[in-house]
Structure 1
Amino acid sequence: MYQNLSSYRIFYTVANTKNISKAAKELYISQPAISKSIQKLEESLGTKLFERSSRGVALTDSGELLYTHVKSAFETLSIGEDRLRRSIELGIGHLTIGVSSTLCKYVLLPYLKEFIKENPHINISISCQSTNQTLKLLEEEKLDVGLIGKPYLLKNIDFYSLREIEDIFVATKDYLHNLSIRGVRHDQILQNATLMLLDKENMTRQYIDDYFQENHISLQDIIEVSNMDLVIEMAKVSLGVGCVIKDFVKEELQNGTLLEIPLGIPIHKREIGFAYNRDIKVSDSLEKFIHFYESFR
């Protein structure tokens, strides 16, 4: 585009009013300034845009062609301004959250239920993957916020702790009874059972592997799955012993569907919380979400 936007604004206004005097009043500039701008635009484009008469001005064929496109451009700008105003008034925004499928189901959704009530015009996208993948995407500035287990090193990540979680091992009464029939003692269950664990890319699995190593627990049979809901369901059909988060099997423990296996040395509790990259510019939507989860109880 060879002309600046003000030249086309003047052309557009003159074409609409069909009168230089009226256009001058509407734009709050002098008539000579409008005439000079039109002249420069015509010289630049190499064609006459208006026919002048005592009654005003009228578009030439070239002017009509240009006006069609200029009109469309200014109408698009007007629509954009209106939508921006509505967006500001309504608090419209977008938030992308990274979270594992398990934490999404048991922790994030209750938060979002209340957050959406307060901020119904913020569009939310959820990207489900492991904590390690969420951290990577946060560092790459591809997510606004993540719900994760607290990592050993936070680097450039701000972490807000929500609560502690406790990893436990569970199985059905029937499965434990069958191990007992085979002569497996209570303190040897993990070494002799089929263990259902999350895959090695998952931070929970890495945490549990550290526990096994520190306590010199050698394993025989392992089934690896991608999410904890599968571990819970497989444990409930007596496929083996599942490593799960205690809060997420409260109902099964209360009704006896699953039994917690006592450990000689308990697994240390760990923290879960929201995290975001402190190096990014915090959007209005993220600022509202941060304020919400810091005050939510």
Structure 2
Amino acid sequence: MEQHLSLYRIFYTVANTGNISQAAKQLYNSQPAISKSISRLEESLGVTLFSRSSRGVALTEEGRILYQHVRAAFEAIDTGEEQIRRMTALDMGNLHIGVSNTLCKFVLLPYLQSFIEAYPHIKILISCLSSNQTLALLDSGKIDIGLVAHPGSLRTLDFYSLGTIQDIFVSSPAYLANLDLRPEEMNNGRQLFEKGTLMLLDKHNMTRQYIDDYLTTNHLQTHHTIETTSMELLIEFAKIGLGVGCVIKEFVQEELKKGQLIEIPLDIPIHRREIGFTYIKKRRQEKAVQHFIDFYKSIKEN
């Protein structure tokens, strides 16, 4: 097939012009060379593709069948080339981002709004995934960029920090009142975790794994837990008094300010975590991806 591509181009041009002389001019070739190429293709297929006359050439029945397919193929190629030219001219392209629901809502959306204004022709696909899933898809090349908490070991990844976040435990004032804990039992959270219901993300989530390590390291026991896949649900559950939720402090500032939620004091605070954009390093990035990388770096630096 590969060795016949040039022959099919010649066949397509001759069929369009109906004249070997005109085809030769369009292809910047000689008439004998065009005639020889058509003969080679006919010999290869074992059929006659053109009937010749003094007025030019006309497709045979076999030629018309082949022409239908060849025309569709070359029209598809022309369409692809035109789309690439438009992408280059208009900064079009595709950008596939992996991000958790929480980071998408509170961190990614402000970047996207400004980016779309600057590059309205880039097609953006968002996959809402856990950080672990995002890293796995990045590693396999199925997404372009991930927004995640720092994974610890970067391996083949580049990581561009957007700052740090603080994990905290919160509950509603009514829930704390119903637990009837003495002030000293509140101050380190130990009795609160043992008596109350602790609400956490599911065990496949990187945040949950981080919090489990904290609880184990500090010998904090939990007896009643609720798991969910969404931090937004944890926040809402905590607001209605369902239990003590582990949330990101930066994302509940309004609730803390209004007194809808109360931060549980801990004698040993949870270490802050770094979040940022990550992508496979040393890989040639598509134009749309490089635009996004350059864009968020310029926003952060300014």
Give TM-score scaled by structure 2 length.
0.90
Aligned to 1:210: 213
The answer on whether the counterparts of 1:131 and 1:149 sit within 8 Å (CA) in structure 2 is yes
Shift of 1:3: 5.8
The answer on whether the counterparts of 2:231 and 2:247 sit within 8 Å (CA) in structure 1 is yes
Structure 2 vs 1, CA of residues 296 and 37 (structure 1 numbering), >3 Å: closer, same or farther?
same
The answer on whether the counterparts of 1:184 and 1:192 sit within 8 Å (CA) in structure 2 is no
Aligned to 2:177: 177
Aligned to 1:26: 26
Structure 2 vs 1, CA of residues 154 and 41 (structure 1 numbering), >3 Å: closer, same or farther?
closer
Aligned to 1:116: 116
Does the residue aligned with 2:79 lie in a helix, a strand or coil?
helix
Aligned to 1:67: 67
Aligned to 2:13: 13
Shift of 1:162: 0.3
Q: Once superposed, what is the RMSD of the aligned Cα atoms?
A: 2.1
The answer on whether the counterparts of 1:3 and 1:41 sit within 8 Å (CA) in structure 2 is no
Aligned to 1:274: 277
Aligned to 2:268: 265
Shift of 1:128: 1.6
Where in structure 2 are there 5+ consecutive unaligned residues?
A: none
Counterpart check, 1:166 vs 2:166 = yes
Aligned to 2:247: 244
Does the residue aligned with 1:296 lie in a helix, a strand or coil?
helix
TM alignment of 1:33-48, pairs within 5 A: 33-48=33-48
Shift of 1:84: 2.0
The answer on whether the counterparts of 2:202 and 2:228 sit within 8 Å (CA) in structure 1 is yes
Q: Give the one of 221, 226, 238 matched to 2:224.
A: 221
Shift of 1:245: 0.5
Does the residue aligned with 2:180 lie in a helix, a strand or coil?
helix
Structure 2 vs 1, CA of residues 174 and 62 (structure 1 numbering), >3 Å: closer, same or farther?
closer
Distance 1:59 1:223 in 2: 74
Shift of 1:184: 7.4
Shift of 1:7: 1.7
Distance 1:13 1:152 in 2: 59
Structure 2 vs 1, CA of residues 132 and 22 (structure 1 numbering), >3 Å: closer, same or farther?
closer
Aligned to 1:199: 202
Distance 1:64 1:220 in 2: 77
Distance 2:152 2:19 in 1: 72
Shift of 1:86: 1.4
TM alignment of 1:30-109, pairs within 5 A: 30-109=30-109
Paired AA for residue 145 in structure 1: I
Instruction: Give the number of equivalent residue pairs.
Output: 297
Counterpart check, 1:145 vs 2:145 = yes
**Matched-pair identity in %:** 59
Structure 2 vs 1, CA of residues 62 and 266 (structure 1 numbering), >3 Å: closer, same or farther?
closer
Structure 2 vs 1, CA of residues 164 and 181 (structure 1 numbering), >3 Å: closer, same or farther?
closer
Summarize deviations over 1:17-53 as a string: whole Å, max 9, x none.
Answer: 2222222222211121122222222323333333333
Aligned to 1:283: 286
The answer on whether the counterparts of 2:181 and 2:192 sit within 8 Å (CA) in structure 1 is no
Does the residue aligned with 2:51 lie in a helix, a strand or coil?
strand
Give TM-score scaled by structure 1 length.
0.92
Distance 1:18 1:286 in 2: 46
The answer on whether the counterparts of 1:197 and 1:205 sit within 8 Å (CA) in structure 2 is yes
Shift of 1:201: 1.8
Paired AA for residue 35 in structure 1: S
Which is worse superposed, 229-238 or 196-205? 196-205
Structure 2 vs 1, CA of residues 213 and 3 (structure 1 numbering), >3 Å: closer, same or farther?
closer
Aligned to 2:154: 154
Distance 1:288 1:96 in 2: 13
Distance 1:70 1:137 in 2: 38
Shift of 1:58: 2.7
Paired AA for residue 278 in structure 1: K
Structure 2 vs 1, CA of residues 50 and 161 (structure 1 numbering), >3 Å: closer, same or farther?
same
Distance 2:2 2:264 in 1: 77
